[in-house]
Amino acid sequence: MEIDSLSESAQLAPHGFVALSRFAMANGMESEVLAAFCQRPHMVDAVEGFRRMEVIQPAEDASEFWLITYWSDEGSYRRWHRSHEYGDSHAGIPKGLKLVRGRTQVRYFHHVCS
């Protein structure tokens, strides 16, 4: 689903907005990606509307990463995603990284409750 086509019910979600990105390494760089996430410069942390970020891996597939970001609202996410800060925050991606085609996905959610 494209972010522009989210239903009007999203405006009623009281707890925020979540973006989930899933991707898998094609060239064995899992340890480099893990280190990059763990040593990230936390640039997004100061962005208006940002709440938190979690990085997880399926227990059965260490080549796959899921990046979950929580936002106060969809607009904050959209502004950040279109900003130069977004590009700057990805400067730490390991050089030479290759992803598995067909296993990259971005999904958007309404945070209903915790």
| Cβ atoms within 10 Å, residue 80 | 20
Whether 20 and 68 have beta carbons less than 8 Å apart is answered as yes
- Give the side-chain half-sphere CA count within 13 A for 57: 13
Domains and CATH numbers, the chain: 3-110 (3.30.70.100)
Whether 64 and 99 have beta carbons less than 8 Å apart is answered as no
pTM for this prediction: 0.81
- The whole-angstrom distance between residue 60's C-alpha and the CA centroid of its chain comes to 21
DSSP class of residue 62 equals T
| Binned average pLDDT, 10 residues per bin, the chain of 114 residues | 51 78 94 91 93 96 96 96 89 89 95 86
